[in-house]
Amino acid sequence: MTSAITSHLDPEHAGTDHASVEHASALDAADPLAGLRDSFTLPADVIYLDGNSLGALPRAVPDRIAATVTDEWGDGLIRSWNDADWINAPRRVGAKIAPLIGAAPDNVIAADSTTVNLFKVLSAALALRPRRRKIITETRNFPTDNYIAEGVIRQTGGAHRLVHADDVKTIADLLDDDVAVLMLTHVNYRDGSVHDMAGLTRAAHDAGALVIWDLAHSAGVIPLDLAGCDVDFAVGCGYKFLNGGPGAPAFLYVAPRHLGGDGQPLSGWFGHADPFGFAPHYRPAGDITQYLCGTPPVISIVALEAALDLWDGIDMRQIHAKARQLTGYFIDLVEARCGGHGLALISPRDAELRGAQVAFTHATGGHAIIAALIAEGVIGDFRAPDVLRFGFAPLYTRFVDVWHAVDRLAGILDQRRWDRPEFHLRRKVT
């Protein structure tokens, strides 16, 4: 393991100080980010390891929402589009996200969902490569991304073809002169493995293709450099590690060279060059606002904006270092204390190759184990068919949380407390 923690726990060393809760407490005491946890509302009886699915609530958000509802909407009414600057919220929030992803403020905007934004940028990218027919993706990509690509292909009358790479090592080999777009998720949603953004972007450009990156599981935990990597387009969500709340607006990035034109297919009035000119025909804005569509959801966008205020002055290198430490510590403890129960690590062992999540598989009881953990106050999640997934948000996850989570997991496995009928029942959301 290449992180700053060098415990390298295994069953042989499980009785050493590195495996103790006191050691975890010492790691928290030395953590330069530890004070940020107080900026979040977290239940005292819950260990939350699902920030890669839904971020925790920042304390500042409820008051900001209340002010928006009571003062700006209640008293200001429609005047607040100007007086409270609602009209510029998508650009303002995009500018706050920009430094977290290595982009200029004028190249990022907050809007819609990741899924909708992917439809926009994929359509725009294909329009920029009209003579090419292939879209390269990864079989293990987050399903909505591939579903959207299939939908875009239907919209083009089947003129394009979606090519799946079953093995990530073959992606570059698929980049020939008929590839229009390479579309990948930077951090895999199942196992947390990280793609080489710079290398794959360069390989795609060498083949004359454009690149779209989905940053849903990397924005807020990994230092990104979209401009430096010469990325064409990117999308990402606001409700995971950015803590914007359930269904928070997503964001998208467009390289300066691709702004303008009319490739964005959702030609709604907020993407018009003069929305309040009410012209009878569409004329796209020449800047990032072209990628807006309909009226922004003000209440949810100000919630995301308040959550993003927490990032002011934070060094993403410290965030990344702590993510590597937390995930490595979790892997070490699980393998030291939970061996022999059928758990198999599928996340990369090399800290440089994984994001801020760790995944194990279990052949028969994956869902039930997660359900039992949740019942005992440790929240992770399950991904079909057999993946137990745990997310570690450096802004608020502590090393003692990791220690106690593994302690409870070990007890559940040792006593088979997961193998109860109620834990095998599937709910709609897992």
Of 4-18, 101-115, 133-147, 289-303, the range with the lowest mean pLDDT is: 4-18
Write the pLDDT tens digit of every residue in 164-214.
999 999 999 999 999 999 999 999 999 999 999 999 999 999 999 999 999
**Residue 120 is among the residues annotated as catalytic for this protein:** no
- The single residue of 48, 119, 142, 396 carrying the catalytic annotation is 142
Q: Which residues on neighbouring strands pair with residue 297, listed in sequence order?
A: none
What is the pLDDT, as a whole number, of residue 416?
95
C-alpha–C-alpha distance, residues 192 and 369, integer Å: 20
Contacting residues for 54 by C-beta, under 8 A, at least 6 apart: 239, 240, 246
**Strand extents, DSSP E, 131-257:** 134-138, 161-165, 179-185, 210-214, 233-236, 251-254
- Specify whether the CB–CB gap between 109 and 288 falls below 8 A: yes
**What are the angstrom distances between the C-alpha of 262 and each of 273, 282, 398?**
11, 10, 47
**β-strand pairing of 251-254 with 344-345:** unpaired
- Specify whether the CB–CB gap between 270 and 248 falls below 8 A: no
- The single residue of 31, 50, 214, 232 carrying the catalytic annotation is 214
Q: Looking at the predicted structure, is the pLDDT value of residue 239 above 90?
A: yes
Token look-up 């107080």 returns: 38
**What are the angstrom distances between the C-alpha of 98 and each of 20, 105, 235, 303?**
40, 5, 12, 17
C-alpha–C-alpha distance, residues 352 and 22, integer Å: 27
- Specify whether the CB–CB gap between 243 and 55 falls below 8 A: yes
Q: Looking at the predicted structure, is the pLDDT value of residue 8 above 50?
A: no
- The single residue of 64, 96, 240, 322 carrying the catalytic annotation is 240
Query: Which domains can be identified in the chain, with CATH numbers?
Result: 11-59+315-424 (3.90.1150.10), 85-311 (3.40.640.10)
Write the pLDDT tens digit of every residue in 246-285.
999 999 999 999 998 888 999 999 999 999 999 999 999 9
What is the pLDDT, as a whole number, of residue 9?
40
**What letter does residue 272 receive in the DSSP assignment?**
B
**Residue 240 is among the residues annotated as catalytic for this protein:** yes
**Residue 398 is among the residues annotated as catalytic for this protein:** no
Token look-up 């790691």 returns: 27
**Residue 233 is among the residues annotated as catalytic for this protein:** no
Query: pLDDT class for 2, splitting at 50, 70, 90?
Result: very low
What is the pLDDT, as a whole number, of residue 19?
80
- The single residue of 189, 239, 251, 390 carrying the catalytic annotation is 239
- The single residue of 322, 389, 392, 396 carrying the catalytic annotation is 389
C-alpha–C-alpha distance, residues 202 and 285, integer Å: 29
Using alpha carbons, select from 107, 339, 337 the residue that is nearest to residue 226. 107
Write the pLDDT tens digit of every residue in 345-377.
999 999 999 999 999 999 988 999 999 999 999
Write the pLDDT tens digit of every residue in 108-166.
999 999 999 999 999 999 999 999 999 999 999 999 999 999 999 999 898 999 999 99
Token look-up 């834990």 returns: 423
pTM: predicted TM-score of the whole model, two decimal places? 0.94
**Residue 428 is among the residues annotated as catalytic for this protein:** no
C-alpha–C-alpha distance, residues 206 and 247, integer Å: 37
What is the pLDDT, as a whole number, of residue 262?
80
